[in-house]
Structure 1
């Protein structure tokens, strides 16, 4: 059996189910134990039919023999019950262990893969945070349906069918053959039902991911929702997104109900046929009363067990659909993989950066040209400021330096070596980033600062970074100091405080290159002064690239580069550029001054 897999935008490829079994390879002993328990439990159905047919026969025996035989068969029923008492819980427990470990393994593998995807992969709508969260949460759990209760039921029913066939053919092969001919009718019905379920599960999965994204955005931005009194709007949008899954669920319920109804109709038709055929065979002297009941109970109980397996059809179908989604993530190779340890590293980094003839378009916006033949040299230990209109590509330079994306053409070098030739993790460790809206994790201030360093940061390193970032005094003044929780996305702290913690996080790894992406533009005047003072201190003896919106913060830069229409149109110190008649930088300064 194979599954369809692949990215939504591509033609689906085939994924063998054995790959899923391979992921469960460490649990093979547990699965074997569970299979043995399932086989024993499955065999109890045909054995029960054998005991029942013999028990019925004792009622037609003389009183003294009936009394002794009934005691014997009653003991047999008790023993069979004890076997089931051990086998059924054993089956459920062992398969649950294997399934739960598989869920944990799939979630870990998928999350590791997601973390190492290139940034451009997350720009696609199908890879939004809500969709990925739903896939990690629901898909991994759904896959358990293929190695959990559903697999246990299949093994159990296979044992029931095999034991039932052996008992039936040994008792009366003619009647067994007649009944066996009717079994494919039930199988065909179950097959058609599963096909319907597969379609419904795939559709509703995409719909639930869309609804999950709405909920994720609303909860993550709850303050914005509350401030605009947009609760009802968000709720209506969520209701609309849930409307599709509701309709799919109704269709699935109707299909499931009709399928089960047809299954039981065919099952009763099989009962009728077997009784009629059995009576004619007894009349013809081909068999006897006891053997007819052996065949009837052995095959009908086995068939009943098989028909019950169709109750797992929705779960199995959902699991197959989820397995497709899981393997689509696991099979995709990241175009810019930070876990790849190949590549060059340098003993010492000077910080000499050259951008040569770079052209670039974002993968999700191939029609919009961001850079065309961009050239810029950033000398070691110097500060280069990038200015320009919004959307001119200033922040894109920083993303290209960190290799969030690769240039479409041209190249970027560090100390004379192209960035693509360096080990990516090492390259990013040489750079410290402070962005306009820093993201802090819902942890302590100490943990957020230590996050910046690869490995464990010592207490001395954390304190030194905080001192340099002008953060130590305000942190020490907090009730719990460095153990203060910052809240989700740092919501418990002011903008200036968050920014200084972010600066400390950036410099705790002692980066050779400092990247400042409008680090003070979102702050008030007082906070900007404190943060700018911290930045001035950490920029010393470091190659620094500054993206600035407020031109007053970059007057002291060694080089100011003006970006317009994807190229550098002006370059030089503030004093030089301000005096260029009709210069673009001079017009930006004039516009900024008039707006103030």
Structure 2
């Protein structure tokens, strides 16, 4: 409480100072208004008495001056907001005039006639633009073969989710290359590149629309009824959707509040499947679910991962132990890679230590 009070001292003084300035300006403006009124009546009565002006002429002038004074007083009361409006307008125009380094609306770039889903990181170094003092990757090399499932594990903030961000080209590496089928992703058409990938994150983004619309959003253009139902069945979602009173026309609410965590994840999986992605990206897709929901969602994921290049970011053993390759991200590089059984045999290895830590924590 003492620390909170101490932190509030500066805003409190600023608020008092602003209140005094605003209140004084407001009071002075009304004082000026009443002084002008009294002066007008005094001068007007003298002019009428001397027959220099008529009663009607006096009130014409009086109302003109009164309305002007009222406008001036209201303007002075809003004077403190002028700087706020000025700063806000400057900020808005700065955003409108800014040119993003990665323009998702651009139609420039190449497209590949056939996508096999081979992903490769070649000596990638990367820092987030908002945190240039923290080195995420220093010399990351990682090869993900077509149709292979690769699980990324590591400590928090080690850069596991950053790998997915670089594959989707939310960011570009500072040095090195990210390749899709031996082609640098920076020369590919961005909208086409992302259409080849399906992303299922820890907290899926659902729009305040129907279930049908949220699933159909995954495909550019119109999705047919048959395609939507097929995707829902593959994601193990069709049965629970059919039990809802309005079925696929059920509104999910703001951010999907009408659905449980497992139901939201299965709709997100169906949306990802609808585009038939060559590369499936799973970023902690089951970490926020209870045991029962995790089992249902895991069954859905197991069925859709077949014959696709899959990158899995997860902490739970059930998500990673069956992966073709497990890669341990540590200190900006891949410290270890191999199957679960092979990595567990490395005495004092990074993977074995990490797994032992998580099991003891649980």
CA contact (8 A) 2:161 2:313 kept: yes
Correspondence 1:413 to 2:166: no
Gap change, CA 1:541 and 1:319, over 3 Å in 2: farther
Question: Alignment RMSD, CA only?
Answer: 3.5
Counterparts of 1:485 and 1:250 in 2: how far apart (Å)?
Answer: 50
- Equivalent position of 2:52 in the other structure: 289
What's the CA shift for 1:490?
A: 2.6
Q: Distance in 2 between matches of 1:347 and 1:462?
A: 25
Q: Conserved in 1, the CA contact under 8 Å of 2:168 and 2:194? A: yes
Among residues 21, 26, 30, which one is paired with 1:260 in the alignment? 30
User: Could you tell me which residue of structure 1 aligns to residue 84 of structure 2?
Assistant: 321
Of the candidates 519, 535, 555, which is equivalent to residue 285 of structure 2? 519
Q: For the Cα contact (< 8 Å) 2:215–2:228, is it kept in 1?
A: yes
CA distance in 2, matches of 1:450, 1:408: 35
CA gap 1:344/1:307 in 2 versus in 1, 3 angstroms: farther
1:305 aligns with 2:67: yes
Match of 1:456 in 2: 222
- 1:331-370 to 2 correspondence within 5 Å? 331-332=94-95, 333=98, 334-370=100-136
Q: Which of 546, 562, 573 matches 2:312?
A: 546
Gaps of 5+ in 2: none
- Cα–Cα, structure 1 residues 551 and 487, in superposed 2: closer, same or farther, change >3 Å? same
Deviation at 1:311, TM superposition (A): 4.1
Distance across 1 between alignment mates of 2:320 and 2:64: 81
Query: Whose Rg is larger?
Result: 1
Q: TM-score, normalised by structure 1?
A: 0.52
Measured in 1, the distance between the counterparts of 2:73 and 2:275 equals 56
Shift of 1:510: 1.8
Q: Are 1:532 and 2:295 counterparts? A: no
Looking at secondary structure, tell me which structure has more helix per residue: 1
Distance 2:56 2:109 in 1: 74
Whole-angstrom distance in 2 between the partners of 1:251 and 1:316: 10
2:33–2:66 Cα contact (<8 Å) kept:
no
User: Does residue 580 of structure 1 match 2:342?
Assistant: no
Cα distance between partner residues in 2 of 1:315 and 1:454: 48
1:472 aligned residue (238, 262, 273): 238
How many aligned residue pairs are there?
350
- In structure 1, how many angstroms separate the alpha carbons of the residues matched to 2:181 and 2:111? 11
TM-score for the superposition, normalised by structure 2: 0.82
Determine if the alignment matches structure 1 residue 387 to structure 2 residue 149: no
Bigger RCO of structures 1 and 2 (CA < 8 A, at least 6 apart): 2
Map 1:132-147 → 2, pairs under 5 A: none
Return the alpha-carbon distance in structure 1 between the equivalents of residues 80 and 360 of structure 2. 64
SS of 1:289's partner is coil
Question: 1:302/1:346 Cα in 2 relative to 1: closer, same or farther (>3 Å)?
Answer: farther
For residue 143 of structure 2, give the secondary structure of its aligned residue in structure 1: strand
Instruction: Give yes or no for contact 2:29–2:73 (8 Å, CA) kept in 1.
Output: no
CA distance in 1, matches of 2:39, 2:174: 68
Q: Distance in 2 between matches of 1:545 and 1:399?
A: 11
Q: Secondary structure at the match of 1:514?
A: strand
